[in-house]
Structure 1
């Protein structure tokens, strides 16, 4: 057997060749692990920077649901968010159809979706009891769950899966993932707060519905979504008939109250996904996603009839109001995909033209 001299000059011991090779192999393994950890740390640092650079909630959610998988080669990712996050976005709510991998639950009442009730990170076998609810693929053999918690509030749950049984083992170090969960929760909280502040500038101060600026953003966003998913989209323009007479006869305070009561009465007639906005003066506009011309006409007629049959009490005055409503629709499957803003503006223009047609033909009617 061959022996090698020890590197220690004060020692006359020798190391067997087999032992020397084993030590050499272990040393090479340590160097390789250090290299892999360095690469992993670099990817985590880059992704953290990407999250913190997100200027709005949409950009952040895109990074969390699409870029995360690319950075870390995770085959399966599902982000579960507390539904209250979206409920708070009452002016320009996010269209979840534009995001892959996001589910919303009322996490206050769905604590069973959290594997570790303490709120700590989980890694191990795929839990069968929640697999059906968050749509985990059958071939997912290892699973990691990162609770996104801020100020003792569960904002969401990031679920990661892999067909590789060794990818997320219970005995693995979790430092990187725990840090990622903390950074992600912090960025999510900040993005939601920024979005709520931004939306304060998008609300009409008198009626509490969207203002013109918000409407312009919404119509472009919904047009883009309709074209992308080849769906129908409709727009209503509403004008209060002879509104100037109300202001001239009863005063502007009564006129303001008329606008407030009108918007309050119209809102319950719409779906949760519809958008009501005060477009300017006595004009209102409504965006109706996934609605064709026929159904948009029925909605417009229901609004017209409801207002015409109502009597409004305003600062001691009993008033009746009627509406002229214009309706226009687009078919997302045939719309011009490269000119979204022009398409949206054409939709608005068409609905506005129908309002004038309604007024010209006698008022208190719907034209489409």
Structure 2
């Protein structure tokens, strides 16, 4: 048996015959195009992925992490026009992507990247735009720039760093990248609209903060983040102690008014990274990422004191008061490692609710602390 290795040359380019083009003399000449096989294969796979994606976070992760990796690129970058901060609200995990993702309130800088008609372009190191894009790609030998268009309106720009071996890309590859830019833009517009509509189903109609469904979605996302960076997170369950009496004495309209005012007041006590949800008629939940138990207890105590002193004028001569019963539970990933985020979320909810009920049984207007046990291991 021969020990010789297979020396068949590796295919790097493929020739494709385009539709015949009519020449000046009336004859129709065939045009043969040469395409880089790697580009063609990866963009065909990207097409299937982009047509199927349904989540904005999944789309951004694919463009900034997955596609560059399988494509053989060192880095990619996504700049999106977001004047009303709609994408920012729909993409709370954007901090995971660092400088690779930027949201712009003004798209002037985007148009500056394409001085002529916005179209996909392959640039080399001599192009001045290399100084303004892909700042972290120190080994880039060039870049592909793809405008993301909504009709004739530029809504973003997607950039992929090229390695030295990719600098031979020509017009045929550029046209494939132009197609990729169109697919990315279509996927972006589709998932933003889908999540915008979906977001409406995540709000409590009375207080217009998140409902139970939104809370559980946020909870799982923050557990994932806390596990990744090894930061504590705390959950507060809050009961409005006198709300049932107010509803009985003053009616449902007054009850809803109190809920809205308390919700607004609680929101004013929170950081931009915290989450509040109205999970039942008398109960709220507050999620405090990157917050240990002592700090969370201070936040809960400040809320309790503030609401206890908060006089709510219903506009009809009545001044209403409520107090809070707060249940608190903190999770520290280093002390309680877990296999299942869903199981941890259920356990934290159960412990926080039990602590809240203990505060209610103690007369209300107080904080009760629960702690996760070895059951979580």
- Same fold (TM > 0.5): yes
1:209 maps to 209
Shift of 1:97: 4.4
Residues 270 and 93 from structure 1, CA distance in 2 versus in 1: closer, same or farther, beyond 3 angstroms?
Answer: farther
Shift of 1:177: 0.9
1:298 maps to 298
1:3 maps to none
Q: RMSD value over aligned CA atoms? A: 2.9
Residues 93 and 63 from structure 1, CA distance in 2 versus in 1: closer, same or farther, beyond 3 angstroms?
Answer: closer
Q: Distance in 1 between matches of 2:200 and 2:189?
A: 17
Does the 8 A contact of 2:36 with 2:173 survive in 1? no
Of 172-181 and 127-136, more deviation after overlay is shown by 127-136
Q: Give per-residue Cα distances to partners, 1:2-28, cap 9 Å, x unaligned.
A: xxxxxxxxxxxxxxxxxxxxxxxxxxx
Q: Distance in 2 between matches of 1:287 and 1:168?
A: 51
1:151 maps to 151
2:4 maps to none
Shift of 1:224: 2.0
Q: Distance in 2 between matches of 1:168 and 1:284?
A: 59
1:94 maps to 92
Q: Distance in 1 between matches of 2:49 and 2:14?
A: 30
1:74 maps to 73
Q: Given the alignment of the two structures, is residue 44 of structure 1 paired with residue 34 of structure 2, yes or no?
A: no
Residues 136 and 99 from structure 1, CA distance in 2 versus in 1: closer, same or farther, beyond 3 angstroms?
Answer: closer
Larger Rg: 1
Does the 8 A contact of 1:202 with 1:211 survive in 2? yes
For structure 2, the residue ranges without an aligned partner over 5 or more in a row are 1-12, 17-31, 370-377
Shift of 1:75: 2.1
Shift of 1:354: 2.0
Question: Normalised by the size of structure 2, how large is the TM-score?
Answer: 0.80
Residues 86 and 232 from structure 1, CA distance in 2 versus in 1: closer, same or farther, beyond 3 angstroms?
Answer: farther
Q: Distance in 2 between matches of 1:37 and 1:125?
A: 18
Shift of 1:229: 2.2
Does the 8 A contact of 1:143 with 1:159 survive in 2? yes
Q: Given the alignment of the two structures, is residue 267 of structure 1 paired with residue 261 of structure 2, yes or no?
A: no
Q: Distance in 2 between matches of 1:114 and 1:159?
A: 14
Q: Give per-residue Cα distances to partners, 1:146-205, cap 9 Å, x unaligned.
A: 121213443332111134175276877521111110110011100110011111111111
Q: Given the alignment of the two structures, is residue 283 of structure 1 paired with residue 280 of structure 2, yes or no?
A: no
Shift of 1:214: 1.3
Q: Distance in 2 between matches of 1:130 and 1:250?
A: 66
Residues 63 and 88 from structure 1, CA distance in 2 versus in 1: closer, same or farther, beyond 3 angstroms?
Answer: closer
Q: Distance in 1 between matches of 2:363 and 2:120?
A: 66
Residues 229 and 303 from structure 1, CA distance in 2 versus in 1: closer, same or farther, beyond 3 angstroms?
Answer: same
Q: Give per-residue Cα distances to partners, 1:256-294, cap 9 Å, x unaligned.
A: 111111112221221222111011111000111111112
Does the 8 A contact of 1:66 with 1:100 survive in 2? no
2:205 partner SS: coil
Aligned length: 339
Q: Distance in 1 between matches of 2:174 and 2:163?
A: 19
2:92 partner SS: coil
Of 159-168 and 184-193, more deviation after overlay is shown by 159-168
Equivalent positions of 1:1-368 (< 5 A) are 36-37=35-36, 40-83=39-82, 87-88=86-87, 90=89, 93-99=91-97, 102-108=100-106, 111=109, 114-118=112-116, 119-126=118-125, 131=131, 134-164=134-164, 167=167, 174-316=174-316, 317-368=318-369
